[in-house]
Structure 1
Amino acid sequence: MASKALKRAGLSPELCEQLKRHKIESCKDLLTHTAFEAMYAAGLNYQKTLEMMETVSRVIAPPPTTALELWKHHSGSCFSTSIPALDKVLRGGLPCGNITEVTGPSGCGKTQLCLILSVVTTLPKELGGWDRSVIYIDTESAFSAERLVEIAQNRFPDYFTSKEKVLQMAGRVHIFREMTCEDVLRRLEKLEEIIISTRAGLIILDSVASVVRKEFDTTLPGNLMHRSNLLGQEATTLKYLAHQFDIPVVLTNQITTHIGHQGSGSATEGDSGIVTAALGNTWSHSVNTRFIVQYVDGLKRQLLVAKSPVAPFAVLNYTIQKGGIYVNGNDGEDNFYEGTDPTLQTIRVRTAINLDTT
């Protein structure tokens, strides 16, 4: 919350403009100055300066609340995925104010799910949408406007009956292509005003692992710590934005291979290791909900609700069609769950391939 802009902390526009001249634009900027420094920058007397700093302090350190207040505030605050079986498991849909991660091998539908959620966000409320815009941060150049339109027209054919509606939907999905860790973090820190100006109802980061794994060789001294610090900053900023605006944040993640037989800690002849979500155990605690998408055989895939504050572990079989992801009628069958911790849940891939081991 320290990154909150001063204009959203209860200060007058004139005072915010005055402080901006001294490069003080966020709550953090102000509170890192002494009262005398802030007094000079704001052009106020000492008592007024103390009152200003106390006001800002209360904004970033709100008083404790009760479970009843949280329950009343978040009751019914769910975001429909337009996948009925998944919404049922999640008791209404993606929880707002939280971070949801989708992890799995390439080609399993992570980006497809992001595109479906983007379309749903723009739909009118009477159709189960939010009538809001989307902030889509693309770090892999995987976003396809053509595929977005195809999903919209095939998933909601009764609504997208005219070119005008399609164009309106596409115009509300705001794409930001960020190809370095620094660019991603800088974009996240500036999202607050963009969310307000675009009336965003969903933030998507596809993918959180892509730029991090390219820039940090964790076999080099110190890199693992720097990577963890960067991911911590990203998670903190995203959690703040999700909570502040009561909207869902959806991230995609990659997979990694841990060499050695599961449970034994040592490799054996012919053992190719186990595949799990990338970025490690510490990162797994930064997300509130984790979906794992994986192959079963051929075109058949599974979505595992591996971690959720509201839902039990669940397995849904699905296929990818022109309208995106569709859960099969036999969902719940062929449950391959082996009882491991969700953060260490093995992921089924199509074939044995060489994967990044970081």
Structure 2
Amino acid sequence: MSSKKLRRIRSLSTEITERLAKNNVNTCKDVLSLSDLELLKITGFGIFTVYQLRQECSLACAPHCITGLELFEKRNQGNGPFFPTSLHDLDNVLHGGVPMGTVTEIAGPSGCGKTQFCIMLSVQATLPRHRGGLDGNVLFIDTESAFSAERLLEVAQSKCPDLHSTEEELCNMAQRVLVDNHQTCSSLLKKLETLEEEVITHKIRLIIVDSIASLVRKEFSSSAGSNLIHRTNFLSRQAALLKNIAELFSIPVIVTNQITTRFGRQAAEQDEELPTEFSEGYVTVALGNTWSHNVNTRLILQYLNDDKRQVMVAKSPVAPFTAFNYTIQKDGIIQDAEGAAVYAGTDPGVQQISVRSSLPFH
């Protein structure tokens, strides 16, 4: 919350924010990092105004408590507290879809459909509200260069042919999906720190980060030591920014994650308890338990065979451990008619994932 822009604080006058902006003071953190004397020189106002400025910034960083009813009404604005995925059985189990105002993770092995899922949700978000969409723009943050504009158009045309029957309609839909590529952790973090302004300017109704693990695993080792501390701090900062944006604007944030192979020693280094039955190693979601606590809902994708895959609800405040079979087709992810099946879940940080035997573990 300390990164909140001063111009977003309604109680501050335009004159004060403009004077501060001229001196590169744009956020609450900038104000609270300066002394009273420095603020007096910058603003040109009296000490009482400086005290009031500090108070307003402090309140913005630590907002007052709200009731459960107020939170429900805030999240229930517009399309309701959930964003439908268009997978009906999954939406039913999740009480309506992906929760608004929270962070949802889609994890799984390479080629299992994580990006396909995100592209399908991107198309869904651009649809009118009466068709289960959010009638807004999408910010697709791509860290793996995996986004395909051709696939976006194919899914849109196959999923809703009546709304995307002409080239002009397809172009209008594609213009609502803003793709932003980032290849370093510092670049991604800088983007997230200024995301608030972009959400307002471009009327963003869905944020996707594909993937959250790619840059972290490339730049930070998972071994013990100072590198692990920097990695944990970066992930915590990243999660805090995403959760703040989701809650502040009551929009869904979707992140994808990769898999890893854990062994007893590796789990111990990450301060994680290794289940006895997995003592010889097991495949699970990457980034460890610390990260898993930062996501509100976790969906795990895994392989059943060459054609069929499965999505598991591994973590949710409202849904039980449930699994659905699906295939990937022209119009995105298509759920099988078999329906839902309850499975024996465990700690989402150590949930085993089935992969193809030909796939190398990462």
Aligned match of 1:59: 60
| Same amino acid, percent of matched pairs | 48
CA distance in 1, matches of 2:334, 2:261: 28
CA distance in 2, matches of 1:84, 1:313: 16
State yes or no: 1:225 paired with 2:238. no
CA distance in 1, matches of 2:175, 2:162: 20
Cα root mean square deviation, aligned: 1.6
- After the TM superposition, which segments of 4 or more aligned residues of structure 1 sit over 4 Å from their partners? none
| Per-residue deviation, 1:340 | 2.1
CA distance in 1, matches of 2:251, 2:55: 28
Deviations 1:87-109 (A, max 9, x none): 11111111111000000001111
Please, which of 309, 314, 329 is the counterpart of residue 317 of structure 2?
309
CA distance in 1, matches of 2:358, 2:262: 13
Aligned match of 1:84: 88
| Per-residue deviation, 1:266 | 4.2
Quick one: structure 1 residues 196 and 339, their matched pair in 2 at CA, closer, same or farther if it must change by over 3 Å?
A: closer
CA distance in 2, matches of 1:266, 1:145: 43
Aligned match of 1:242: 246
Aligned match of 2:276: 263
Deviations 1:44-83 (A, max 9, x none): 1100111122122212211112223223333432111122
Deviations 1:230-283 (A, max 9, x none): 00110010011001111000000000001369525643xxxxx21000000100
Is contact 1:290-1:308 (8 Å) kept? yes
Name structure 2 gaps, 5 residues minimum. Answer: 265-273
Work out the number of aligned pairs and report it.
349
State yes or no: 1:9 paired with 2:9. yes
Is contact 1:102-1:292 (8 Å) kept? yes
CA distance in 1, matches of 2:242, 2:262: 28
| Per-residue deviation, 1:40 | 1.7
Is contact 1:9-1:27 (8 Å) kept? no
Please, which of 121, 131, 137 is the counterpart of residue 125 of structure 2?
121
> Given the two structures, how large is their TM-score scaled by the length of structure 2?
0.93
CA distance in 1, matches of 2:39, 2:138: 37
State yes or no: 1:289 paired with 2:304. no
Letter aligned with residue 70 of structure 1: L
> Given the two structures, how large is their TM-score scaled by the length of structure 1?
0.94
CA distance in 2, matches of 1:249, 1:339: 24
Tell me the secondary structure at the aligned position of residue 324 of structure 2. strand
Please, which of 349, 355, 361 is the counterpart of residue 355 of structure 1?
361
| Per-residue deviation, 1:353 | 4.3
Aligned match of 1:171: 175
Is contact 2:296-2:315 (8 Å) kept? yes
Is contact 2:321-2:345 (8 Å) kept? no
Quick one: structure 1 residues 264 and 318, their matched pair in 2 at CA, closer, same or farther if it must change by over 3 Å?
A: closer
CA distance in 2, matches of 1:306, 1:13: 47
